[in-house]
Structure 1
Amino acid sequence: MGDRKQVQTDIRRQIREFLTTRRARLTPEQAGLPVYGGNRRVKGLRREEVATLAGISVEYYIRLERGDAAGVSEGVLEGINHALQLNEAERAHLSDLVRACGDNRPLKLVSARPSLRPPVQRIIDSMTTTAAVVHNGRLDVLGANALGRALYEPMYADPTRPVNTARFAFLDPQARTFWRDWERIAADSANLLRAEAGRNPCDHDLTELIGELSTRSEDFRVRWARADVRIHTSGVKRVRHPVVGDLELPYESTPLLADPGQILLMYTAEPDTPSADALRLLASWAASQPSWDGA
C-alpha cells in the first residue's frame, strides 16, 4: 500500500502547474477577447477570463487551478479545453489528472518493469530491414530487434538497466552528438514523461526517474517546468551514429494493445537515400556482433 495523501498532493500540483502554464501561454487576442488600454499585470489570460470562456464561475475555476478537481464533470472539462485551446494530448492529460484526483481506491504503487512477451520478440526479430524497439511510458527500453539494438548502441554503453531514452538524453554527454536535433528530443522526452505521470501517478519507478532527472539535469528541470505533454505517433529522427554516420529515419509508433503501456517504435529509411545505405550497413554490422540481450 502506498501513501494516498502524498500521491493526491502530487496530482493536485500537476493540475495546478498544467492549468497555470496553459493559461499563461494564451493571449486575449488568441482567445478572441477584447483588449483595452493599460498594462496587464499578468502574463496570458486572467483566471476570470478563462472562467468566462469556459462558462463557469471564477470561484470554481480558481478552485480547479489550485488542484481541487475531484468530481469535475465532462461538461466543465470540455469548457476548459475550449477556453485554453488544448490540443489532443493536452485534453487527454487533463482528463487523466482529473480522473486520478477523484480516485480514492486503496493505492498500489506500480513498480514492476514488464518484460517483452516472446511472440512480440519473435515478430520484431522478423523485421530485418526495420529497426524495432519496444518501450514503456517511462521510456524504458523493454526490448529490440538486432537492428534496433544496433541503432541504440550508444545508450547501452551505460550499465544502468533498463536502458532509458530520457536518462540518456539528459544525463549522457553522448546524447547531444547522437541526436542531431537534441533540443527537440529533449523536449519530447520531458513531454512524454509528463503525460505518463498523469496517466500513472502511482508509478514508483517513474517518480524516481523524474526525481533523478530533476536533481541532475538543469535542462530537464527547465523543460519539466513548462508542463507540456506529447503523444508519440510518427515523425523523423535524425541520428549521428558512431558506426555508420548520419541517418534520417522516419518512424511510426503503435501501442501494443495486448500489453498495456508498451509501445512499438519502428524506424525505416526512405528508399535510395544515403540513410537507406547507412541502415543496411548498420544491419550488416549488427549481424557481426555477439548475441545481444534485447533489453
Structure 2
Amino acid sequence: MSDRKQARMEVREQIREFLTTRRARVSPEQAGLPVLGGSRRVKGLRREEVATLAGISVEYYIRLERGDATGVSESVLDGIHHALQLTDVERAHLRDLLDAGRARPAAGLTSRPQLRAPVQRILDSMTTTAALVFTGRLDIIGANALGRALYGPMSSAPVRTVNTARFAFLDPAARTFWRDWDRIADDSAELLRTEAGRTPYDTKLIALIGELSTRSQEFRVRWARHNVRSYATGVKRIHHPVVGDLDLAYESTKLADPGQMLIMYTPEPDSPSEDALRMLASWAASKPDADKPHVADDIHPSRTDTS
C-alpha cells in the first residue's frame, strides 16, 4: 500500500473514531429524545438518532461515520454539531478532518517552523514576562530570557528542540515540575489531537505521536479519547528547581506564521509567585552563558529545525 493511500485511510479512521466517541458520550436524555423501556446495547446515541437530530438521512450519516468526507456542506456540519453537542473546537476539528479526507496527501509532507527575527525581538523586549513561541506539535521554537529560565528544566538535550509533550509523558521530572501533571497531560494530548486534524500528513507530528504512543501508556489512554482543545488562557502551576512554586496566569495569541502560538506567563501582582519570578530572572542573568538553560537556543531564523 502506498504511503499516500495509508495516510488517507488513517484520516478516515480518525473521522470514524472521533464521531463514534462523540456519539457515545451523548445520552438520549441529554439529546431530548424519549427513552423507551428495555436495555440499550449502544452507549450513547444510535446512528439513526444522530441522523434524525442532524436532519440528514441515516445512510448519509453512516457513510460519514465510516470516513467518507465527500460532499459535507456547512449545513450538514451544523446539524452534526447540534446533534452531537460539539464544542466550537470540536466542530473546527471535525471540519479539519473532513477537509483532510478530501485533500490529496502530499508525499513526505512536514513543516519546518522557523522563528522570524522580528518575533524574537518582540520576545526579547519582554523583561518581566516569561514568553515562549510554540508550534502545533508543542515544540518550543522561541523564548525570551525569562521564558528560557522558566522552562529550562525541560532541556535535557541542548541540541534538540524542546517539546513539552515529550517532556510531560517521557521525562519523570515532569511530574515534579508540573504541580498539576494530570491536567497538563490531558491538555498536551488534546492539543496534539487538534494539530493532527489540522496537519494530518505532517511526518514529524506522526513520528512524535508514534513515539509517545509506543513509550507512554498515559499518552495512549488520553489519545484514545479523541478529545481536542485550543490554546486559550489559564494558570500554570509549576515547581521550579531554583525558585520553588509558581502560579502563573497565561495568555495566548496566534502569530502570522501558520501553527505558531505566542504564550505569555505573568504572576499576580504582589504575590509570592511575582517574587519567585523576579528571583528567577536575577538568577538567569547572573549565570554564565554556558550555564544558562538551553530552551529554544537551537532555533534561529536562519537555521533549519533539527528536532
Task: Report how far residue 159 of structure 1 moved.
Answer: 4.7
TM-score (norm. length: structure 2): 0.92
Question: 29-38 or 216-225: which moved more?
Answer: 29-38
CA deviation string 1:148-175 (max 9, x = no partner): 0111011112456210000000000010
Aligned to 1:261: 259
Task: Report how far residue 294 of structure 1 moved.
Answer: 4.9
Tell me the distance in 1 between the aligned counterparts of 2:249 and 2:143. Answer: 17
Question: 215-224 or 55-64: which moved more?
Answer: 55-64
Which amino acid in structure 1 is aligned with residue 166 of structure 2?
A: R
Q: Does 1:205 align with 2:204?
A: yes
Q: Any residues of structure 2 matched to 1:105-116 within 5 Å, and which? A: 107-116=106-115
- Work out the percentage of aligned pairs sharing the same amino acid: 72
The count of corresponding residues between Structure 1 and Structure 2 is 292
Aligned to 2:301: none
Check the 8 A contact 1:250/1:268 in 2, yes or no: yes
Tell me the distance in 2 between the aligned counterparts of 1:170 and 1:8. Answer: 28
Aligned to 1:99: 99
Question: 107-116 or 159-168: which moved more?
Answer: 107-116
CA deviation string 1:22-47 (max 9, x = no partner): 00011111111111111111111111
Structure 1 runs not aligned, ≥5 long: none
Q: Any residues of structure 2 matched to 1:222-237 within 5 Å, and which? A: 222-237=221-236
SS of structure 1 residue aligned to 2:155? helix
Tell me the distance in 2 between the aligned counterparts of 1:41 and 1:223. Answer: 25
Question: 205-214 or 149-158: which moved more?
Answer: 149-158
Check the 8 A contact 1:234/1:251 in 2, yes or no: yes
Which amino acid in structure 2 is aligned with residue 267 of structure 1?
A: Y
Tell me the distance in 2 between the aligned counterparts of 1:48 and 1:154. Answer: 51
Aligned to 1:278: 276
Structure 2 runs not aligned, ≥5 long: 297-307
Which amino acid in structure 1 is aligned with residue 276 of structure 2?
A: A
Task: Report how far residue 289 of structure 1 moved.
Answer: 2.2
Which amino acid in structure 1 is aligned with residue 277 of structure 2?
A: L
Task: Report how far residue 110 of structure 1 moved.
Answer: 3.0
Aligned to 1:129: 128
CA-atom RMSD in angstroms: 1.3
SS of structure 2 residue aligned to 1:157? coil
Which amino acid in structure 2 is aligned with residue 81 of structure 1?
A: H
Task: Report how far residue 186 of structure 1 moved.
Answer: 0.3
Aligned to 1:23: 23
Task: Report how far residue 58 of structure 1 moved.
Answer: 1.1
Task: Report how far residue 113 of structure 1 moved.
Answer: 2.6
Task: Report how far residue 176 of structure 1 moved.
Answer: 0.7
CA deviation string 1:182-240 (max 9, x = no partner): 11100000000000000001100000000000000000000000000001111000001
Check the 8 A contact 1:27/1:44 in 2, yes or no: yes
Aligned to 1:12: 12
SS of structure 2 residue aligned to 1:238? strand
Aligned to 1:247: 246
Which amino acid in structure 2 is aligned with residue 124 of structure 1?
A: L
Check the 8 A contact 2:161/2:295 in 1, yes or no: no
Aligned to 1:176: 175
CA deviation string 1:114-165 (max 9, x = no partner): 2211111111111000000001000001011110011101111245621000
Aligned to 1:53: 53
Check the 8 A contact 2:12/2:68 in 1, yes or no: yes
Tell me the distance in 2 between the aligned counterparts of 1:288 and 1:27. Answer: 58
Tell me the distance in 1 between the aligned counterparts of 2:158 and 2:9. Answer: 34
Check the 8 A contact 2:152/2:295 in 1, yes or no: no
Tell me the distance in 1 between the aligned counterparts of 2:288 and 2:193. Answer: 37
Check the 8 A contact 1:11/1:101 in 2, yes or no: yes
Aligned to 2:303: none
Question: 34-43 or 134-143: which moved more?
Answer: 34-43
Tell me the distance in 2 between the aligned counterparts of 1:290 and 1:4. Answer: 49
Task: Report how far residue 290 of structure 1 moved.
Answer: 3.0
Tell me the distance in 1 between the aligned counterparts of 2:97 and 2:206. Answer: 15
Question: 63-72 or 10-19: which moved more?
Answer: 63-72
Q: Does 1:190 align with 2:183?
A: no
Check the 8 A contact 2:155/2:295 in 1, yes or no: no
Task: Report how far residue 71 of structure 1 moved.
Answer: 2.1
Cα 1:72–1:112, aligned 2, differ >3 Å: closer, same or farther? Answer: closer
Aligned to 2:65: 65
Tell me the distance in 2 between the aligned counterparts of 1:248 and 1:294. Answer: 20
